A = this chain, B = another copy of it.
Amino acid sequence: EATIVYSISLAFLLFLLKWLELRFIIFHKSFEIYIGAIAVIFTALGIWLALKLFRRDAFGTKPKVKTIVVEKAVYITNENFFLNTSLVSELELSKRELEILSLLAEGYSNQEIASKLFVSLSTVKTHNQNLFEKLEVKRRTQAVEKAKRLHLIP
């Protein structure tokens, strides 16, 4: 589109030049002025063309690289729970202990846990003992509270 306009403009200008040539042929001394006029006109044409072709706003202000920073809220809930593994190793909690910890948090009794894990009540009690000692608590309810707080369980 712009190219067509340019072509037409060019043709028109060449025609204008031809006319000027005929008209100012007598002013042989002003040949340089003539050339200068052409230079100026075509420079302007070039500038206009550049602006047109590259579809810039006529003002040519600052670079148009807009940086839009969008803050996306990521809600951290139980859904995206990640085990605090470093703390687990620090407290030297075993797999089984963590397993039992989860079941404690879900409100199961020792007997229920024993049944679920196919072990005896004694075993669960032993695990509890070790668990409470490692977590430095006295009761299962405290263990659950602390474990949740330390992200050991969801």
- A residues apposed to B, CB below 8 Å: 10, 13-14, 17-18, 21, 31-32, 35-36, 38-51, 53-56, 60, 63-77, 104-109, 137, 139-146
Contacts and interface: CB of A to CB of B under 8 A. Distances in A.
Most chain B beta carbons < 10 A, residue from A31, A40, A106, A107? A107
Contacts of A105: 141, 145
B36 A38 contact: no
Contacts of A140: 141
8 contacts: A10-B39, A45-B46, A46-B46, A47-B47, A66-B67, A69-B72, A71-B74, A73-B76
Contacts of A64: 63-66
A79 to B, nearest CB: 10
B107 A144 contact: yes
A14 B43 contact: no
Contacts of A36: 14
B63 A55 contact: yes
A63 B2 CA distance: 17
Contact of A145 (B43, B46, B106, B109): B106
Nearest to A103: B141
Contacts of A66: 63-68
Contact of A42 (B38, B50, B108): B38
A65 B104 CA distance: 53
Nearest to A40: B42
